Amino acid sequence: MALVGRKAPSFKASAVINGGTIVQDFSLDQYIGKKHVVFFFYPKDFTFVCPTELHAFQEKLAEFESRGVAVVACSTDTEESHWGWLQMSKNSGGIQGITYPIVADTNKTISDAYGVLNGEYQYDEDMRLVASESMIAFRGLFLIDKSGIVQHMLINNFPLGRSVDEVIRMVDALQFFEKNGEVCPANWTKGSKGMKESHDGVAAYMSEMA
């Protein structure tokens, strides 16, 4: 079920913050009323495509922060796995230098709540747990406003990495709409014209953003 327009599922889980500190009961609720949130899932620690995305978000972290946006990552690995990967250098395939929080969805309930968990599971006649696929998260991404409402979501299959620049564009579009009440046409970028419905019901281009 699409989460756009709905309250982002709440959770509390272990996470690694500031590149190496493990905390308990991490929650996105701490940002409500304070910051927009980009919450993204990746499949697994110690893989190949995932570190390119994690580093790409870190490289643009200052741009997110300048917009009042918190970046938070999540996978179904444990907090200990996250911590270990954070100790490995980028040249060795690690994610050393990542400072934004990485949530440990060890019991997979967060991925399931956000609709990004791959595979299905059931119990066979001998009451053994059987999974149809690896129970890991797809590359899901959710842009959440200050009220905790999901305004944008994107889910990619495992081989398809995401564009961080496109995520920033979506942040800019949301904040432009929130500030000006004007909608953003196709391929809109920061500094471009917005649109709003005129009195006769015809959409008209408006002036440049102040």
In contact, 76 and 108? CB cutoff 8 Å: yes
From 50, 54, 104, 168, active-site residue = 50
Strand duo 36-41 + 69-75: pairing: parallel
- The CA distance from 160 to 50, in Å, is 10
Q: What is the pLDDT of residue 207?
A: 42
pLDDT tens readout for residues 140-153: 999 999 999 999 99
Query: Per-residue pLDDT for 197 more than 70?
Result: no
User: What topology is assigned to 13-162 in CATH?
Assistant: Glutaredoxin (3.40.30)
pLDDT of residue 154 exceeding 50, the answer is yes
pLDDT at residue 198 in the model: 56
Q: What is the pTM of this model?
A: 0.89
Question: Who has greater pLDDT, 193 or 88?
Answer: 88
Structure tokens at 47: 């893989």
| 204 compared with 180, residue with greater pLDDT | 180
Where are the domain boundaries for CATH 3.40.30.10 in the chain? 13-162
Interior/surface letters 67-98, b for 16+ CB within 10 angstroms, e for the rest: bebbbbbbbbbebebbbebbeeeeeeebbbeb
58 residue type, one letter: Q
Does the annotation mark 50 as catalytic? Answer: yes
Please check the confidence at residue 127 and state whether its pLDDT lies above 80: no
Residue 200: what pLDDT?
45
Which structure tokens are listed for 142?
């959710």
- Taking only the tens place, the pLDDT of each residue in 50-67 is 999 999 999 999 999 999
Instruction: Note the residue count of the chain.
Output: 210
Q: What integer best gives the mean pLDDT of the chain?
A: 91
Q: pLDDT digit string (tens) for 93-123?
A: 999 999 999 999 999 999 999 999 998 878 7
pLDDT in tens, 17-57: 999 999 999 999 999 999 999 999 999 999 989 999 999 99
Look at strands 21-26 and 36-41 and give their pairing.
unpaired
> Which candidate, 53, 160, 46, 41, places its Cα nearest to that of 108?
41
